[in-house]
Chains A and B, each alone.
Chain A
Amino acid sequence: MSLATALKANDVTQLPSKRDEDWKWTDLRGLLRVLPPPSEPFAGEAPVGPFASLANLPIHVVNASDPFVIRSASVEPYVVALHFAALGGGSHSASAQVEVADGGHLILLESYEGDGADYVANLDLKITVGAKARLERIVLAADGAEGVSVSIAEVTLGAEAQFAQTVLTDGARRQRIETRVAHPGAGAAVRLDGAYLLAGKRHADLTTVVEHLGVDGTTSQLTKGVVRDQSRGVFQGRIVVAEGADRTDARMGHHALILSDKAEVDAKPELLIFADDVQCAHGNTIGAFDQDALFYAQQRGMPEEVARALLTEAFVGEVIDRIEHEGAREAARLWAAKGLGL
């Protein structure tokens, strides 16, 4: 059951539904009674996305694309901007492979955009990070309010590889950004972060699965969300430590602010530990604004809206501060300021 297979077979019954435990909060079958026809080929000038100017290699795709491969062996940080636009409605799928050779260093600045039309977009990425290689992946998802979009990345790491990811999203009509990491242990380090800022009726689902398969691996995960109006945020984080994957150090945090009575956050942090000697922890908080902190800031002279903006920006800022690539970090800051109406 996946959006990719449903689109391929043009069969709505193959869509993930709330009967699938992992999709119960992001039901596509219940949402889509029919699949829209394939997107028309795009004729105009293709948008290059927010990261093109930061990249050594900018790539942009409108709607569907044939599978393609990005390979990098550069030892110096090499920046690829990968922009996917969904324009003019319809349904489409894209897939790509990203390979970082042993010892290589790649920065993947990925972005999505959608226009006002109804669309259904699927993206499948297969990412391989070689031994002692580094990949920092930033995903800036700016889907349309009427778009339905699913992006699934499967990541495989070599020994002593470093994989760092930050997903930034303001959601869509329904949106899921999923990352699955096969973690070899072996000195490899994973950072999996995310931030969602949702308003209107938007929905965003950040799902991650990390499987620690060998000894001596680390994972650090921090996701923060702010939901307003009638929006809905979903966080599903699963860390599995396989039998024998000793000396694993895995930490997961998810913290959400709910700023309206009708907004909703569903969170499922899971640690499944089958090894004996591990350090694992998770923290999950979901709540309203801290009224005491708000009053404190107001007492110092900040009008309520200034105080709220400062405190919310700081809340999300903790995720953004962890982005290593400076240009991407600044873009993320602007994104957050805009999303919070600053």
Chain B
Amino acid sequence: MLSISNLHAEIDGKAILKGLTLDVPAGEVHAIMGPNGAGKSTLSYVLTGRQGYEVSEGTATLDGEDLLSLDPSERAARGVFLSFQYPLEIPGVPALTFIRTAMNAQRKARGEAEITAPAFLKLARATAASLKIDFEMLKRALNVGFSGGEKKRMEIFQMAMLSPRFLILDETDSGLDIDALKIVADGVNAMRSPERAMLVITHYQRLLDYIKPDRVHVLADGRIAESGGPELAHELEREGYDKYARAA
């Protein structure tokens, strides 16, 4: 599925990723943990093609196809979805309009027909209900005036609607209370499937109690410093990231 090899990336000439190599096979959930400033968010932006992140070396492919040469919308159409750490407010655009425009743009890019209005609304109602989102909220401008937790829930809603193949969750637990965290985690877990893979980026182990990873990687100083099973997350929770900081 996702294969990253010797990835180097910089912002404004400052090296952030320094030879990152990682494979996430289909059907698996991998967690990326690491201290602040290790490059976790940079990794998510490099994979999704945000402007200003310069890749100087290395490759990233999804099912063998080079991702780095595609523009952000083309990557999305191929199934890459990033749940933002800080979802943007989009004044004047109702959430439903935003998602429908995105969905139809993806379909067009894949050569599929647009979704009809009734089919879209039916899907939106069912998805909202499963995530305990008030349907009326979807008629309001996306994320405008929403609480931190509501914004995160809207990210998961969009994810469920767009049904991506490769999911990147960037600090999805930040700003969530325990009830919201459970709802969000349930939404994410419902999307686990043999055809999909996920990269869960988090500073804390808490989220991984709800979204159980197959593999845990420690990102420190721009590369994977250690990889292990789920037990590695607990170890990090106990011992912190100090030893990686020293090693770096």
Contact = CB atoms under 8 A, between A and B. Distances in A.
A334 B210 CA distance: 48
A299 B72 contact: yes
Nearest to A309: B101
Given A295-B72, A310-B101, A301 B90 contact: no
Interface in B42-86: 48-51, 71-73, 75-77, 81-82, 84
B98 A310 contact: yes
24 contacts: A293-B88, A293-B89, A295-B72, A296-B90, A297-B102, A298-B49, A298-B71, A299-B76, A299-B81, A299-B82, A299-B84, A300-B76, A300-B99, A300-B102, A301-B77, A301-B106, A301-B109, A302-B73, A302-B105, A303-B109, A304-B73, A310-B101, A314-B90, A318-B92
**Chain B interface residue bracket vs A:** 20 to 34
Given A299-B81, A303-B73, 17 more contacts: A295-B50, A295-B51, A296-B87, A296-B90, A299-B84, A300-B81, A300-B158, A301-B109, A306-B73, A306-B101, A306-B105, A310-B97, A310-B101, A313-B92, A314-B91, A314-B141, A318-B92
A74 B50 CA distance: 58
B128 interface: no
A315 B76 contact: no
**Chain A interface residue bracket vs B:** 20 to 34
A301 B76 contact: yes
A291 B51 contact: yes
Interface in A108-126: none
A263 to B, nearest CB: 21
Nearest to B72: A298
B162 interface: yes
Given A293-B90, A295-B51, A301 B103 contact: yes
Nearest to A292: B88
B93 interface: yes
Contacts of B98: 297, 300, 310
Nearest to A315: B92
Interface string A239-258: 00000000000000000000
Given A295-B50, A295-B51, A295-B72, A302 B90 contact: no
A314 B92 contact: yes
B231 to A, nearest CB: 33
